[in-house]
């Protein structure tokens, strides 16, 4: 069975810290990997598409990298408004699976 493994499941960092979230696919998904941010009580928001493309209007402190089976989302300098849960999601084949999520908190 295909798996999308996201890590860590939660993290706590200080304002200004560099934060990295990883997503591992159990098989090659090329670059068909997106990242979403979900704040409490809100709908998710697209941050990164096709592994490394920044969605319009998303701050440049967010970046994505990777291809094949290993992907990362990086926040270069964590801001208080970045408190949220982050999800990866693939579009390589059906069904379009999401990772389990990473909850980011401020230390």
Kindly list the residues in this chain that would bind another protein in the complex (CB under 8 A).
32, 34, 36, 38, 43-46, 49-50, 53, 55, 87, 89, 91, 94-101
* Coil, strand or helix at 23: strand
Shortest Cβ 46–another protein spacing (Å) = 5
CB nearer another protein, residue 69 or residue 85: 85
Q: Which is nearer to another protein, 17 or 46 (CB)?
A: 46
Question: CA of 27: how far to CAs of 50, 54, 95, 107, in Å?
Answer: 16, 24, 14, 35
Cβ proximity to another protein, 66 vs 99, nearer residue: 99
Nearest to 52 by CA among 37, 69, 74: 74
């Amino acid at each position: 069975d295909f798996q999308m493994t996201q890590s860590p499941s939660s993290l706590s960092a200080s304002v200004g810290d560099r934060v990295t979230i990883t997503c591992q696919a159990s098989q090659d998904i090329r670059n068909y990997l997106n990242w979403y941010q979900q704040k409490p009580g809100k709908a998710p928001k697209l941050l990164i598409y096709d592994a490394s493309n920044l969605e319009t209007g998303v701050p440049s402190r967010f970046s994505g990298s990777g291809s094949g089976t290993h992907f990362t989302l990086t926040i270069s300098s964590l801001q208080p408004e970045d408190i949220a849960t982050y999800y990866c999601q693939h579009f390589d084949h059906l069904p379009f699976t999401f990772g389990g999520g990473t909850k980011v908190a401020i230390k």
